[in-house]
Amino acid sequence: MLEGKNIIVGICGSIAAYKSAMLVRLLVKAGANVQVVMTPDAAEFITPLTLSTLSKNPVHINYFDRSTGEWDNHVALALWGDIFLIAPATANTLAKMANGLCDNLLTAIYLSAKCPVYFAPAMDLDMWKHPATVQNVAKLQAYGNILIPAGTGELASGLYGEGRMAEPEEIVALLSDQLKKKLPLADIKILVTAGPTFEAIDPVRFIGNHSSGKMGFAIADELAHRGADVTLIAGPTSQTLKNPAIKLVNVTTAAEMLEACTHYYPQHTACIMSAAVADYTPVTVAPQKIKKQDAVLNIELTKTTDILKTLGESKRDDQLLIGFALETEKEEEYAVEKLRKKNLDLIILNSMNDEGAGFKGDTNKITIIDKHLQKTIFTLKTKTEVARDICEKVIQLLNP
């Protein structure tokens, strides 16, 4: 959720400033761009060099650098930020923010900020409970600022109680959750399948196909990026997850994929079946490696269960089911037939006759057909871009 976000981290003069080093590190690790702003007193508790190293950016402290004659433009920095996070926020800084005082760079940026402002208080128990602090916090919340509640525990004074700054891991998790709630697919559970299936002939050989899993993994990643809770059922593939929030279920055979799909689909709002599931599987699997002896080897095959059709038969009115059709002839005719027979909401057609489409490559060319036979034709794009187009269609269907 934080990847690519511009986050201003404001640090005030508190012993809790030591936690800010870990906070900055976690934000950078999550993919955020971080600029640190310190009050002059904060530099007495933790060095700007530490925070500059961790954030990979110069630290901002003063309006004006007398050694260089340069002015630190607080307005430009405020406009840069997607989030302004003040942690730790002392009683002194909270009072200034609540009453519009602006005697340092941090408070100047606060008054100029148009982005959401989060503040994580840090102070002793009696200061936190003082009516003035309580009133200032209430005023800041009334202004639209977001409180990250103070924790309870041992304080720097030796007392035990409320007032300690939230832990860095808690702050990062809260920011991620807040951002996720604003996304179009927030908390919607979506099931995705990807890759091929391998149907064993003997312990070392199998029947498979050329599916790389790239399309399914790209779809799962894009859905998660838009806030969905994604479960990805993947056949044998070398692809790896970019988003650790995606639940990965590994399978090998068509039978295993069927079992996983029928287990997970009832708990999900939508399912996108991009896996290339084998249509046939050997009737028997040799217990030992088959030796090359005869000029001809005959293997008896039997049809696998049609997973897409099985899910379509159990699909509820509140669920979506989306399938893929990779065709080599009569592409649109076969895709529409599949759409109707399998009770799908969308069919995503790609043709092996289109250069750059199909298995293994990094590009694809699709046509999306809905159950009303309205079709949208797309140009050749990267699979990441194709995944975005598919997700836009899913959002339209879920939020008409």
| Residue 317 known to bind ligand | no
**Is-contact 270 320, C-beta < 8 A?**
yes
- Which CATH number, 1.20.58.220, 3.40.50.1950, 3.40.50.150, 3.50.50.60, labels domain 6-181? 3.40.50.1950
| Residue 217 known to bind ligand | no
| Residue 393 known to bind ligand | no
Report d(CA 316, CA 267) in Å as an integer: 11
**Token pair belonging to 24:** 């900055």
Report d(CA 237, CA 197) in Å as an integer: 9
* Backbone conformation region of residue 356, classed left if phi is above 0, alpha if psi is from -120 to 50, else beta: left
SS3 189: strand
* Per-residue model confidence (pLDDT) at position 68: 66
**Is-contact 40 109, C-beta < 8 A?**
no
Report d(CA 366, CA 327) in Å as an integer: 11
CATH 3.40.50.10300-classified regions of the chain: 189-398
Tens place of pLDDT per residue across the chain (400 aa):
788 899 999 999 999 999 999 999 999 999 999 999 999 999 999 999 999 999 999 999 987 776 666 777 888 899 999 999 999 999 999 999 999 999 999 999 999 999 999 999 999 989 999 999 999 999 999 999 999 999 888 877 777 888 899 999 999 999 998 888 888 999 899 999 999 999 999 999 999 988 999 999 999 999 998 999 999 999 999 999 988 889 999 999 999 999 999 999 999 999 999 999 999 999 999 999 988 887 788 899 999 999 999 999 999 999 999 999 887 788 889 999 999 999 999 999 987 777 766 666 788 899 999 999 999 999 999 999 999 999 999 999 998 6
pTM of the predicted model as reported, rounded to 2 decimal places? 0.75
Is CATH 3.10.110.10 what the domain over 189-398 is classified as, yes or no?
A: no
E runs forming strands in 253-345:
270-273, 280-282, 301-303, 320-327
Report d(CA 385, CA 235) in Å as an integer: 23
**Token pair belonging to 21:** 């080093």
Report d(CA 23, CA 370) in Å as an integer: 46
| Residue 338 known to bind ligand | yes
CA nearest neighbour of 242 among 263, 220, 264: 220
CATH 3.40.50.1950-classified regions of the chain: 6-181
Report d(CA 221, CA 228) in Å as an integer: 10
Report d(CA 272, CA 334) in Å as an integer: 18
Q: 4: buried, middle or exposed (CB in 10 Å: 19+, 13-18, 0-12)?
A: exposed
Please, what is the end-to-end C-alpha distance for the chain in angstroms? 25
CA nearest neighbour of 115 among 3, 5, 227: 5
* Per-residue model confidence (pLDDT) at position 67: 66
* Per-residue model confidence (pLDDT) at position 22: 97
- Residues with a catalytic annotation lie at 209
CA nearest neighbour of 354 among 386, 306, 321: 386
| Residue 354 known to bind ligand | no
Report d(CA 134, CA 111) in Å as an integer: 20
* Per-residue model confidence (pLDDT) at position 356: 63
